[in-house]
Amino acid sequence: MFREAIALAKRRLVSAFFYSLEGFSAAWHSEEAIKVELALLPIFLGLALYLREDGISRALLIGVLLLIVIVELLNTAIEKTIDRISTENNPLSKRVKDMGSAAVLGAIINAVVVWTLVLG
């Protein structure tokens, strides 16, 4: 029974991994912001590894970068869901999309603050 549960968990993880790759691909092909953030990610990852030797600092610097991408993916999912429901101009739809955009801005501000504090 334990082996069956492990096998099922492995299959689900593999499936989830491939669904996630499809999600990244869909975001990459439809969102300019994702392209910019993913293009900048290796540069800042390299800087984080170069500028700090201790693991905690590196984890903080890299973690906030990954958080930006995560929040951007969630924002994109929200926007696509709203557009799926209706593409007509609606004040509530605009408000929801603006909130998602504000979340991305918050993640970026968070990254700037963390990088400033860790490197400053």
Amino acid (1-letter code) at residue 35 = K
Structure tokens at 53: 């030797």
Domain spanning 32-119, CATH class? mainly alpha
28-75 pLDDT, tens digit per residue, is 999 999 999 999 999 999 999 999 989 999 999 999 999 999 999 999
Q: Let me know how long the chain is.
A: 120
Q: Is 58 left (phi over 0), alpha (psi -120 to 50) or beta?
A: alpha
Catalytic residues: 72
How many CB atoms sit inside 10 A of residue 78's CB?
Answer: 16
80-118 pLDDT, tens digit per residue, is 999 999 888 999 999 999 999 999 999 999 999 999 999
pLDDT band (50, 70, 90) for residue 1: confident
